[in-house]
Amino acid sequence: MSRARVLILGSGTPNAEAGRVSSGVAIAVDDQPYLIDCGHGIVQRVVEAHDAGLITWDTKALTRLFVTHLHADHTVGIPDLLFTPWIHGRKEPAQVYGPAGLEAMLRHIQLAYAENIREHRAAHPSSERGYQAEAREVKEGLCYRDERASVYALAADHGGLAALSYKFVTPAGTVVISGDTKPVPGFGDWARGCDLLIHEVYSARRFLKQSAAWQAYHARVHTSTRELAALANEIRPGRLLLYHQLFWGQTAEALVAEIASDYAGAIVSVNDLDVFEL
């Protein structure tokens, strides 16, 4: 019987916050992690989770990354993902899946760190390929499959960037992760009945206190508590996990209450290093 656990590595946003790093979630099936996004601090969070006994795998197992979009708070940790596990002894290249523009980003990271790569290859017995990344730009539909998981992508809507949501179907259950997006047609049908729905959100109540320009932006590219409650009523997930929360001064409890006023299912506003079993 396969075992799967979801580890919240980073629950934050582009705004630096004490206690939260930016976006990163690991879905581990039989101790093989599938990483979704890699913001700042994600590799360090893996080290911390391992030291705390939350996981048995370590950074060398970080070989599969799924990127929702190319904003910095979802990708700025990619150089760390490539080079730190390599120094720790990772032998194989990282397989990186994501939207258009991913291949160019990864190629430029290798160019930017060419001196780092050259020196470490000369000075240390590191693997010849463990620092490399194999880019696979994907669109909608099945984008990855192995004996543990099938991964499906759906086009998200995050303004001017190509963006994706992902669905991981495993023998232990199904996990859907929204990435950054406003509600899109078809998402409810696509995600319906999942065991975990991990979704970004902003406070509809505090939205009213934002400037007109920020209101226009967030309404165009993100999902409010009111909109997410409507989605959750359509999807009926086993549990709804809130991440990438725009609290705007709201407490986690109040954010959950905004959704709970229109949705009766289980809701958790997550923190870094929270673990959920499937």
Mean pLDDT along residues 152-160: 96
How sure is the predictor about 123, in pLDDT bands with cuts at 50, 70 and 90?
confident
| Mean per-residue pLDDT, 248-264 | 97
Nearest to 244 by CA among 182, 189, 195, 185: 182
What is the mean predicted confidence (pLDDT) over 34-41? Answer: 98
Residue range 103-112, pLDDT digits in tens:
999 999 999 9
Phi, psi of 226, rounded to the nearest 5 degrees = -65, -45
Q: How far apart are CA 218 and CA 246, in angstroms?
A: 10
For residue 34 the two structure tokens come to 């599938």
Instruction: Give me the CATH topology for the region 4-277.
Output: Metallo-beta-lactamase; Chain A (3.60.15)
Measured CA to CA, the distance from residue 262 to residue 14 in angstroms comes to 28
**Residue 126: its pLDDT value, please?**
73
The predicted model scores a pTM of 0.97
Domains in the chain: boundaries:
4-277
Q: Give me the mean pLDDT over the 185-204 stretch.
A: 97
Quickly list DSSP for 73-100.
HHHTTHHHHHHHHHHHT--SPEEEEEST
pLDDT, tens digit, 9 for 90 and up, residues 218-245: 999 999 999 999 999 999 999 999 999 9
